[in-house]
Chain A
C-alpha cells in the first residue's frame, strides 16, 4: 500500500466539557472514496471540518501527506457544501475562474489578455465536464439546485485538490437529480483519480459511491452525562465488489 494521504493520530475534539470526537485513529489512502455516515451529532461533520481545516483538534494531529495540518483552509483540500458553495455574484464561468485567478494574480485576483484566455478555456472545459457547458454566463440563481452543485464541484476540481471533501452534497436535491449527481461524481472520481471524503445521511448512497465506509458513533454512553464520551469510527469497512453488491448491513441501516 502506498503512503496515506490523510492520517488521523489519536485525534480528540472537545468543546469545553463536551467531547465530540475521541481517539480517532485512521488513515486514508490516495484514490479512496470514503463515505462517512452516522447519526446526527456523532461528529461526522466535525471529522470533515478537521480535514478542511475549519477547526483544529484539541488533542492529537491530522496529517496531510505527512505534514501536520494548520486549522485553516487551503487549496490542497477542495470542498462542496450542501448549500452556499457558489458565489451568487459571479456567473458559472466566473465562479470557476475565481480559483485560477486567485492563484495567478495575488493583488488584483483578475487575469487579463492571454492568461485570461487560457484560464477561461480551462474553466470552460471543466464546466463542460460537469455538464454545464451551455450555462457559462448564467448566475447561480438561474441554475437549479443540481446544477449549482455541479458548478460547486467544477469550481473545486479546477484547483486539482489532493482531497475533495463533500459535506452532504446531495442532501437538498430531488431523488432523480441525486442519481444524476451520483453518476457525475463517481465518473469524475474515476477519471481524475480523486481522493474523496463524503459525509452523507443516506447509507445506501454511502455504499453505492464509496470504496470504504466509516460510521461514526459513540462507543460508550453515560445517560447522566451524555456529553462525557465522544464518537469515533465504530465501523470501518473497505468495500470490494461483493460487499458493494450486498449493500449496507442491517445493523447499520437500523442505526443510521
Chain B
C-alpha cells in the first residue's frame, strides 16, 4: 500500500500523536536529571519536580508583599487586558468590516486608510502609545486592539464584499433596504467568519500583550516571565509558558465551539 493511502484509525491516531510529545518530555527529563546530578542548584534545565514546586508556590501561596496569589493576579490582569483589547478589536471589526464590505462608498472612503494602518508594525507604535496614553492599562489594551483590528477589518470587509452578488440582488428584489440587507444578509453570514479571523488573531494578540507587559508593567503573565528571567528562573518561566499555552488552547476551543453551536449552517449541513 502506498504511504499516502495509510490512514490510522481514531485510537492508533491518538497514540501516534502522543508518542513524539512523550519522547520530547522524556529527553527533557533525562537531560535535566543529568544536569541536576552534576549541580543540584542548576537553573537552566529544572527538573519536573522543581517546576511543579515552583508552580505550586505561585498558584497557591499568597505573596506577602502584594497580598495576592501571584499566578492568579498575573492571569487576571493579563486576561483582562487581552479581553478588553480583543473586545474592542472585534466590535470595531464588526462595525467597520461590514460597513466597508456592504457599502461601496464607505469602501472607497475608508478602505485606503485601513490598508495604511494595517501595514504599520504595531510594536513600532508602542512608544507613541506609551507617550500618548501613559504606561497604564490603556496603552497595553490599545496595542492589542491596534495590532489585530486592521487585519480583522480587512478580512471581514473582503469576505462580505465577496459574498455572491446574487444574494444582494435577490434581497433587494425581496424589498430589502440597505439597512435590512446589512442586518439580515451581511451580518449573520459575517459572524462565523469573524470568529474564524479572531481565532487566527489570538496568536498575535498574545504577542502584543506579552510585549507590552514585558516593557512596562507591574503585574501580568508577560511581566512575570520577563522579571524572573533576570534570575534565570526557568522553573517559573516554563510552567508560565505552559499555562499561557493552555489558556490559548482553551480560548481557541471555546471560540470554535461557539461558532459550531451558534452557526450550524456554516459548518456543513448539521442542524
Q: Footprint of B on A, CB under 8 Å?
A: 52, 54, 72-75, 77-79, 81, 83-89, 98-99, 101-103, 106-109, 137-142, 152, 155-156, 159, 161
Give chain B interface residues in 78-105, CB to chain A under 8 Å.
none
A-B contact pairs, 30 of them (CB 8 A): A52-B169, A72-B172, A73-B173, A74-B172, A77-B173, A79-B169, A81-B169, A81-B170, A83-B164, A84-B164, A84-B167, A85-B166, A87-B171, A87-B185, A89-B263, A98-B176, A99-B174, A102-B171, A102-B177, A108-B183, A109-B180, A109-B183, A139-B265, A141-B265, A141-B268, A142-B271, A156-B173, A159-B174, A159-B175, A161-B173
Tell me the total A-B contact number using a CB cutoff of 8 A. 91
User: CA–CA, A81 to B183, complex, Å?
Assistant: 23
Q: Is B166's CB under 8 angstroms from A81's CB?
A: yes
Q: Which residue of chain A lies nearest to B170 when distances are taken between CB atoms in the complex? A: A85
Q: Is residue B131 within 8 Å, beta carbon to beta carbon, of the partner chain?
A: no
Q: Is A98's CB under 8 angstroms from B171's CB?
A: yes
Tell me which residues across on chain A come within 8 A of B269, comparing CB atoms: 139, 141-142
Q: Which of A86, A87, A99 has the most CB of B within 10 A?
A: A87
Q: Per DSSP, are chain B's interface residues mostly helix, strand or loop, or mixed?
A: helix
Q: A89-B263, A141-B268 are in contact. Are A99 and B175 (CB under 8 A)?
A: yes
Q: Which residue of chain B lies nearest to A159 when distances are taken between CB atoms in the complex? A: B174
Tell me which residues across on chain B come within 8 A of A108, comparing CB atoms: 183
Q: Is A98's CB under 8 angstroms from B271's CB?
A: no
Q: Which of B171, B175, B265, B269 has the most CB of A within 10 A?
A: B175
Q: Is B175's CB under 8 angstroms from A52's CB?
A: no
Contact-residue size bin, chain B (C-beta under 8 Å from the other chain): 20 to 34
Give chain B interface residues in 244-271, CB to chain A under 8 Å.
263-266, 268-269, 271
Tell me which residues across on chain B come within 8 A of A86, comparing CB atoms: 170
CB < 8 Å neighbour of B172 from A73, A106, A140: A73
Give chain B interface residues in 166-220, CB to chain A under 8 Å.
166-167, 169-177, 179-180, 183-185, 188-189
Measured between C-beta atoms, what is the minimum distance from A180 to chain B in Å?
22
Tell me which residues across on chain B come within 8 A of A152, comparing CB atoms: 170
